[in-house]
Amino acid sequence: MRFFVDTADVEAIAELNDLGMVDGVTTNPSLILKSGRDILEVTREICSIVDGPVSAEVVALKADDMIAEGRKLAEIAPNIAVKVPLTWDGLKTCKVLSDEGRMVNVTLCFSANQALLAAKAGATFISPFIGRLDDINIDGMDLISDIRTIYDNYGFETNILAASIRSVNHMTQCALVGADVATAPPNVIKAMASHVLTDKGLDQFMKDWAKTGQKIL
């Protein structure tokens, strides 16, 4: 499973990228707001750091305007994936841009039917929102599993990009059910390295080492 980092924080992206933990980046209007930077400027900088796909989202609601914005965003760098919402106009935009050879990430997916439509429209990525489904007492992981089954049944090449990830358990579950990509905030990716027994074991090793009175350097 590939890891995308869900942020517009350039320093956090660079840190994870240096460790080989970043296969791509996803942004959205909320993350751009949080960064406090111009969308074109910060997206260009992210693309200079990361070799993989960098999702940049349109903000128009009508297809013609989405297409124009998508083409503008795609000019930033060759690894831009234009992000569009899963609306009828978003699907129209996806079809046009994908036919032009551009990567398209269809976002805000909450049903298997929506995912099926996105695949038929030529989406490079479909972004089901796990956490937001969990918020309304629907198991978001069931949606990932359903999309996996449908795509495998018919050979769709659209990548399942699990989004709205809130915890390390979400990351594990995504990998188990076969998501192609999981996009998560930097703190969730870092938290994957943590375990109480690792901390406990290391503490004991350090206490025992101190008793030896030895040094390596």
How large a percentage of the chain has pLDDT more than 90?
A: 100
Taking the domains of the chain in order of start, what are their residue ranges?
A: 2-192
Could you list the beta-strand ranges (E) of the chain: 2-6, 24-26, 54-57, 80-85, 103-109, 125-128, 159-162, 181-184
* 121 close to 94: Cβ distance less than 8 angstroms: yes
Output the pLDDT for position 149: 98
Q: What is the pLDDT of residue 130?
A: 96
Question: Average model confidence (pLDDT) for the chain?
Answer: 97
What fold, for 2-192? TIM Barrel (3.20.20)
pTM: 0.94
Query: How far is 162 from 11, CA to CA, in rounded Å?
Result: 23
Taking alpha carbons only, the member of 109, 114, 124 closest to residue 55 is 124
Q: What is the Cα–Cα distance from 59 to 117, expressed in whole angstroms?
A: 21
Which two tokens mark 192? 């994957």
Give the model confidence (pLDDT) of 16-60 as tens digits.
999 999 999 999 999 999 999 999 999 999 999 999 999 999 999
Q: Which pLDDT value is given to residue 186?
A: 97
| Residues with catalytic roles | 83
Kindly report, residue by residue over 74-124, the tens digit of the pLDDT: 999 999 999 999 999 999 999 999 999 999 999 999 999 999 999 999 999
Which SS3 state, helix, strand or coil, does residue 141 take? helix
Model confidence pLDDT, tens digit, residues 152-190: 999 999 999 999 999 999 999 999 999 999 999 999 999
